Structure 1
Amino acid sequence: MQTERPYQRIIVGAAIVEAGRVLGCARAHPPEVAGMWEFAGGKVEPGETETAALARECVEELAVRVEVGARVGPDVPLAHGRALLRVYQARLVGGDEPQALEHAEIRWLTPDELDDVTWLPADRPIVAALRPLLAAHH
């Protein structure tokens, strides 16, 4: 039996920005986080790049195609350091409208509305980093 090496799973998130607003997504499940807000995204699969994973997750969760841009905010440790959240700015391409396929609700948030929703703890440092970026586009 081999000992499990401490593999750091990468979770990618998309801060989809349009016209000075960012797309927030309310979790539908599991129950302990239902109704809390996050950025769309998910796990990077073996052999997949972070940007490819993010593009795939946006199609699966929101039915949108995105162009992935620069990183936003810090690496955020999750699951007691066993995973790392990395969020990238992204923008919609091809005229797709986001749909809440896996979330309870999705909403475009202006810089002033970022505090109107309860963000998951992991996403809060990202929201803080995003605020000045959104204000610059507003």
Structure 2
Amino acid sequence: MSGTPTAVVVAAALTDGGSLLLAQRTRPPELAGRWELPGGKVEPGESEEEALARELREELGVECAIGAALRGDVDLPGGLVLRAYRAVLVSGTPAALEHSALRWVGADALPTMDLVDADRLWLPELQDILLTSPGRSSGPS
């Protein structure tokens, strides 16, 4: 496989105040019912940030601002690499368009969720992000 660029899959650590959005997988069968950070594959000609913004539009029906990458990449089967980025909601309300459910979770609940193995690398960093985020606002930000 030399000479073939590594394909990148991007995921969003989408936060709102002290909560992180998780999406429940519908497939493949071995991952169905488990929770993940939403995202998808980077298509040719897209930057990772553009791909993540597009995936969040397609999967959740929202517009998001993409921020810094989380620490560490995860090697996936098939020569793929998973990379997560911080994201914040710009407009829209997340809807489970390609997942069976969505759930906002806080730092305390996050470790109790049945996360896909690939996303577990970021648990400590995600908890830190949630614990240092300002609380949810009841009005427009």
Q: Taking structure 2 as the reference length, what is the TM-score of the superposition?
A: 0.90
Unaligned runs of 5+ in 1: none
* Stretches (4+) displaced over 2 A: 3-7
Displacement of 1:120: 0.6
One of 76, 79, 96 as aligned partner of 1:78: 76
* Equivalent pairs, count: 134
Amino acid at match of 1:107: R
Q: Kindly provide the CA deviation profile for residues 9-48 of structure 1, in whole angstroms up to 9, marking residues without a partner as x.
A: 1000011011111000110111110011111100000110
Alignment of 1:48-127 (within 5 A): 48-79=46-77, 82-94=79-91, 96-127=92-123
Q: CA RMSD in A?
A: 1.4
Question: Aligned partners of 2:24, 2:8: CA distance in 1, in Å?
Answer: 21
Q: Is the CA contact 1:15–1:89 (under 8 Å) kept in the aligned structure 2?
A: yes
Displacement of 1:129: 1.7
Question: Aligned partners of 2:63, 2:7: CA distance in 1, in Å?
Answer: 24
Question: Aligned partners of 2:116, 2:71: CA distance in 1, in Å?
Answer: 15
Displacement of 1:91: 0.4
Unaligned runs of 5+ in 2: 136-141
SS of structure 2 residue aligned to 1:125: helix
Identity %: 42
